[in-house]
Structure 1
Amino acid sequence: MNIAPLDPPARLLMGPGPISAYPSVLRAMSSPLIGQYDPFMTATMTETQELYRQVWATSNDATLLIDGTSRAGIEAAIVSLVKPGDRVLVPVFGRFGHLLAEIAERALAEVHTIEVEWGQVVPVSAIEEAIVRVKPHLLALVQGDTSTTMNQPLDEVGELCAKHGVLFYTDATASLGGNEFDADAWGIDAATAGLQKCLGGPSGSAPITLSDRAVEVIRSRKRIEAGIREEGDESSPDFIRSNYFDLGMILDYWGPRRLNHHTEATSMLYAARECARVMLTEGRSAVIDRHRVAGAAMLAGVEGLGLTVFGDVAHKMNNVVAVEIPEGLPGDEARGALLEDFGIEIGTSFGPLHGRVWRIGTMGANARKDTVLTTLAALEAVLRRYGVSVPAGGGVEAAADVFAASSVREAM
């Protein structure tokens, strides 16, 4: 059979994720495979754990990777921390809050939600009121929700949870690496992320960190050794019904005992290690600041084109902005033209924002000057083609001014 080799088109991924990976991450993924108990393999796992402690800003021993997309990390955290009947409180300010609630419901939790209008964040006072009223076992809260581009403040929430004896889990998939995140300082018990956003890698590995308190809860859940069951195991509320996402078993695999659970996804381990290495080599604060500047430049650029920004800009993530699609403009068609003619992808939207906004990302390897200016120039050309009146060069000039005023390096 004459089957052509795989040849993906060249793309500049400027949407809300996935993004264009750092070249060194792609190179790392092509490294040779080795056995899962090869000394190099286990040493790399241990090294990667230490790197991600620095990424998360934590001393948690239980810092590791879940083999799977960022959603795998979310599910592992929730099904391992929550047993049937536990109360879970989910503040919702976008699509991914609804996802946390759904996963908790599938874990047979008693789920309570509080919601705010998309484009806003949840006030800490509202979270405290709900905690006092619901008395949850777990608070599950998204940090950065790409569906709305909002960045939920977390710095006061951990103290609030500790005060009321509540476990605090956060989904940092879209925010880790491009926005401030301090697991220990903020009192976070469990946090998960993915590589495909600010960390600059492919989807397929989910970094997770767990406090000692969270590990104690996980260890208290009923364990079943392979092939050894006792009567009533399956009906016990303490029985973790997922094998793959049983964090107690995964902790044993990553811990000093190295008890076999699954075969580690070697190439994704290499990718995750390289994502962390890139960040820490450049400097954790420097990478976050680079995302801040690139995001501010993109924000200024779309406003320079006369576009309206969606949501509370004061609480926008550094790494993604949502802009209102000009009235009468076929949004999906214009996105298609941007992709076909310029090879640039920006994002569509979900739920109540479907057809209303585009989402433009500046993250990972693409949080830099040339990608921002290229995207704005191409967007201006597409808008003009569809009859939208925009200031000539307005987007590029506004963004360039932001970069000129910043001391952050323009490229890695």
Structure 2
Amino acid sequence: MGPGPVNAHPRVLRAMSADMLGQFDPEMTGYMEQVMALYRPVFGTENRWTMLIDGTARAGIEAALVSLVSPGDTMLVVDFGRFGLLLKEIGERVGARVEMLSAPWGETVPMEAIAQAMARTGPKLVACVHGDTSTTMAQPLDGLGALCRDAGALSYVDATATIGGMEIAADRWGVDVVTGGLQKCLGGPSGSAPITISDRAAEHIFARRHTEHGIARADLAQGSGIRIGSNYFDLAMVMDYWSEKRLNHHTEATTMLYGARECARIALGEGLEARFARHAAAGRAVVAGARAMGLTVFGDDRYRMTNVTGILIPAGVDGEAVRRRMREDFEIEIGTSFGPLQGKVWRIGAMGYNAMKHKVLITLGALEAVLRAEGHATPPGAGVDAALEAWG
């Protein structure tokens, strides 16, 4: 019950036990087409270029940034936690001139501040995390795409921590590229990164290279052609493989594709609205339970992620001892955090296969027992009772 990865859905694990297929087998390429269709509603888009990057969620982030940003480009990062700092690091490795627009941890960045920062910096790309699990905050994104288009900038959103649990509305937000991961709200293992790319972004990506005699190569001339720093994460080449051309790029991670396909089938079978409501109920229950136990919930209630809750470690309580007891006595894992919050908060995740009433109640009951064993008094049964009422 930490901030992810979490327990995978049994159906996903079963799907991943299927036998291998060759990457050009018609059955395999048929599954690829299914994956593209299944993930469009999950991303809230009709983008043709909706597919998978083989690798953990960070592989999707890196593929997006190395394919959208060229050395010397200005990249504006909307930063409100640990994973905004990751976008900064990757941008700097690409050679971008990175500008940061930062909010204190526990807050988000107002859209007006983003507009002002864009006017000041003139970015080629605006990059943002949707939900940052380090702070448990979710950045509002309505209007971001329009701001970027008006300024002639591309937009990128990392939705690793929210896809499948909170609404992802790529088309309504008007953003160009969104990436995710399986290991949180989608209820799968880490190792595959769903991605969606707008036609506008695809045009930019393909324009960075020329094709000679049917073989893709980087254009080494000055000007429009830019050599991509990575072969594996060159989206133009990956998109060629996922297109009707089926141009070989790398050996497809067959087992992960099976898993990603099943994650999306489960999400759509449940219904996205029902799924979002389930995650919201789980988040409400954790927050209500923690407060009924006399604990302080971290961050701004208006912008809280539904699937991860930060709880301030009470004074005099050894946070790591509590985590160890939770794990050893109850076989429940909860998280700590990074940077300025390291050792100051616990993070309880209720997402994917674990966003269930009984799992939330068991976790809160276990936390109460462990806190009392560590000498911190909590009202007996109050957390579970409040969570039951809040679930609705």
- Equivalent position of 1:117 in the other structure: 104
**Alpha-carbon distance, 1:227 to partner:** 9.1
1:354 matched to 2:342? The reply is: yes
**Alpha-carbon distance, 1:34 to partner:** 1.1
Contact 2:157 2:178 in 1 (8 A): yes
Distance in 1 of aligned mates of 2:224 and 2:157: 27
1:58 matched to 2:20? The reply is: no
After the TM superposition, which residues 200-279 of structure 1 pair with which residues of structure 2 at under 5 Å, given as runs? 200-223=187-210, 232=220, 238-279=226-267
CA gap of 1:227–1:40, structure 2 versus 1, over 3 A, is closer
Identity of aligned residues (%): 58
Distance in 1 of aligned mates of 2:250 and 2:98: 31
Distance in 2 of aligned mates of 1:117 and 1:127: 15
User: TM-score, normalising length from structure 1?
Assistant: 0.92
Distance in 2 of aligned mates of 1:231 and 1:390: 65
1:368 matched to 2:377? The reply is: no
Distance in 1 of aligned mates of 2:130 and 2:220: 38
User: TM-score, normalising length from structure 2?
Assistant: 0.97
Contact 2:49 2:198 in 1 (8 A): yes
After the TM superposition, which residues 29-40 of structure 1 pair with which residues of structure 2 at under 5 Å, given as runs? 29-40=16-27
CA gap of 1:35–1:380, structure 2 versus 1, over 3 A, is same
- Equivalent position of 1:337 in the other structure: 325
Distance in 2 of aligned mates of 1:260 and 1:211: 23
**Alpha-carbon distance, 1:236 to partner:** 8.5
Contact 2:295 2:311 in 1 (8 A): yes
Distance in 2 of aligned mates of 1:215 and 1:379: 48
Contact 1:149 1:320 in 2 (8 A): yes
Contact 1:58 1:182 in 2 (8 A): yes
Contact 1:309 1:324 in 2 (8 A): yes
1:81 matched to 2:68? The reply is: yes
**Alpha-carbon distance, 1:222 to partner:** 2.3
Distance in 1 of aligned mates of 2:141 and 2:133: 16
- Structure 2: state its 5+ residue gaps: none
**Alpha-carbon distance, 1:224 to partner:** 7.3
Q: 2:152 aligns with which of 141, 165, 169?
A: 165
Distance in 1 of aligned mates of 2:218 and 2:144: 40
Contact 1:88 1:111 in 2 (8 A): yes
Contact 1:223 1:240 in 2 (8 A): no
Contact 2:209 2:226 in 1 (8 A): yes
Contact 2:125 2:156 in 1 (8 A): yes
Question: Which contiguous aligned blocks of 4+ residues in structure 1 show a shift greater than 4 angstroms?
Answer: 223-237
After the TM superposition, which residues 105-144 of structure 1 pair with which residues of structure 2 at under 5 Å, given as runs? 105-144=92-131
CA gap of 1:245–1:235, structure 2 versus 1, over 3 A, is farther
- Equivalent position of 1:306 in the other structure: 294
**Alpha-carbon distance, 1:231 to partner:** 9.2
What secondary structure is seen at the aligned counterpart in 2 of 1:206? strand
**Alpha-carbon distance, 1:228 to partner:** 8.7
What secondary structure is seen at the aligned counterpart in 1 of 2:281? helix
CA gap of 1:387–1:224, structure 2 versus 1, over 3 A, is farther
- Equivalent position of 2:384 in the other structure: 396
**Alpha-carbon distance, 1:229 to partner:** 6.8
- Structure 1: state its 5+ residue gaps: 1-13, 406-412
CA deviation map 1:311-342 (0-9, x unaligned): 10110000000000011111111101100110
What secondary structure is seen at the aligned counterpart in 2 of 1:323? strand
CA gap of 1:122–1:269, structure 2 versus 1, over 3 A, is same
- Count of residue correspondences: 391
**Alpha-carbon distance, 1:163 to partner:** 1.8
- Equivalent position of 1:189 in the other structure: 176
- Equivalent position of 2:13 in the other structure: 26
Contact 2:207 2:224 in 1 (8 A): no
Greater shift in the superposed pair: 222-231 or 185-194:
222-231
Greater shift in the superposed pair: 229-238 or 29-38:
229-238
Distance in 2 of aligned mates of 1:164 and 1:265: 38
Contact 2:44 2:171 in 1 (8 A): yes
Contact 1:177 1:198 in 2 (8 A): yes
